[in-house]
Amino acid sequence: MEIALASQQSQNPLRVGMRSARNVAPCVMVIFGATGDLTHRKLLPALYNLALEHPLPPQFTVVGVARRPFSNEEFRQQALDSINQFSRRRPVNERVWDTFSKGLYYHQSQFDDKSGYEGLAKLLEQLDQERGTGGNHIFYLATPPSFYGTIGDLLNSAGLASQDGNGGQGWSRIIVEKPFGHDLESAMALNKELNKAFKEDQIYRIDHYLGKETVQNIMVLRFGNGIFEPIWDRRYVDNVQITVAENIGVDSRGDYYEEAGAMRDMVQNHMMQLLTLVAMEPPTNFGANAVRDEKVKVLRAIPPFAEAEIAADTVRGQYGPGMVGGEVVRGYRQEPGVNPNSRTETFVALKLAIENWRWAGVPFYLRTGKRLTKRITEVAIQFKRPPYLLFQGTGTDQMQPNVLSLRIQPNEGISLLFEAKVPGQEMQLRSVNMDFLYGSSFGVEPPEAYERLLLDCMLGDSTLFTRIDETEYSWQLIDAIEHAWSRSLAAALPQYEPGTWGPKEADALIERDGRTWRRL
């Protein structure tokens, strides 16, 4: 069953994320790590698509910074190749590319070379005059986190970190990728380093999950519809399940994954962002601090784990070798860059409580892992079952709970599972779905997450970026679990078959509460 949506637009739409009514000021985006994978797979295609769909002014300029000796023309050709391969809008529009490519420049420098930043400052001054960018600069750190502090210091020493650049005109902002720290201590130290050069309102900690259409639609679904918010609490909700599953292994990321693991790689950032949006109270408005204030309140309401609770309410696992789709696949310990005796988790399941008036007594179950059955990210709100008394004696064996599921990827959309009578003389019930799919309902392809987030940074809107206190509260929770795990190295690390939904211990975690994981 599919919901038919009217095509007429609201006279007063809730705007969350991309705000097309606001104009982007001419600016320069400096990308450190311009020859890296992130830049070519995500950033350059996202910027081109923004130019194609007209939110960017013609003066918009990109300066790529990296160690390799490329000319402007070589960098432009590489950008064209990346857009041809990875852009969601293909083939390249020659007229748009001609304008966009004229604003692409390359600057060779080591990330720790002071003279390179002096040269960058001269180039930016030249571009501000020639292209009319007015001293507005965004610095995107598509580099390993170990360079964040160094780049911030050298930008500051070159006079590029000031909020009021170009003689009192213009602005400077810095975007940093996850992971923001490895634990609470390193996150606080990293923020202290960045704060030497940049104020908190200049720092944009990016999490691409917050740019996804369905993630932003969580707030509109809850607060823009009178039928959902009144039942979005402990009186009607039985449990909430958040699943972030991947069907691939770590592949070439073994070195990174050995340091991070599933907990740091996915739970601390992506999954905590999803949890806070689902659980937060209505903000007073959609301003950046109003929204992020409510998200922080959720994190503060999650009680710290006691040692015994960590053993009972968390599960970790590691995928072993096996067969997937008729092909032999390696186990995690056989992946390149992985210690053959590694105890790094590739799967995590945990049960969280939120001790506030809205959610007291409602468990939040989270699971994420590599080499699972399929690639899917979903938030499922499972409501309490209705009383069975009315249907006794009708042949109905069991009333299924209503479930509101938010699909983040793939096939972004929303589904509502409810009970309906099967046609016929007998009273038989069957679960059916009402589905909302972005692609078929609106007839347009939603923009990529990076497109929305890059545009918001240009607009100075930090709503969908992570504030430092969000980061610190989430690290406090993760640190408690990681420390307990590190003290129990002798404990077994369950192996699970690739292509399954993880170790059997994860099923036991939720089944002891009389519940089961959703079948996805």
The one-letter amino acid code at 171 reads: W
CB atoms near residue 12 (< 10 Å): 6
| Cα 122 from chain centroid (whole Å) | 35
Half-sphere exposure of 506 (CA within 13 A, CB side): 26
148 in Cβ contact with 190 (< 8 Å): yes
* The CA-based dihedral angle spanning residues 452, 458, 464, 465, taken in that order and rounded to the nearest 10 degrees: 130
Q: Any idea which residue has 């995928």 for tokens?
A: 319
Kindly name the residue from 40, 107, 182, 270 that is annotated as catalytic.
270
What's phi and psi for 286, nearest 5 deg?
A: -95, 20
C-alpha 117/C-alpha 111 separation (Å) is 9
Output 3-12 pairs: Cβ under 8 A, ≥24 positions apart. 3/434, 3/435, 3/436, 3/441, 5/436, 5/441, 5/442
Helix (H) or strand (E) holding 339: none
- b/e per residue, 260-285, with b = 16+ CB within 10 A? bbbbbbbbbbbbbbbbbbbbbeebee
Alpha-carbon torsion (184, 188, 194, 195), positive or negative: positive
Return the HEC string of 492-517.
CCCEECCCECCCHHHHHHHHCCCCCC
Q: Which two tokens stand for residue 251?
A: 């592949």
C-alpha 382/C-alpha 358 separation (Å) is 15
C-alpha 449/C-alpha 395 separation (Å) is 48
Q: Is 107 among the catalytic positions?
A: no
175 in Cβ contact with 135 (< 8 Å): no
Nearest to 461 by CA among 9, 69, 22: 22
Q: Which residues are catalytic?
A: 270
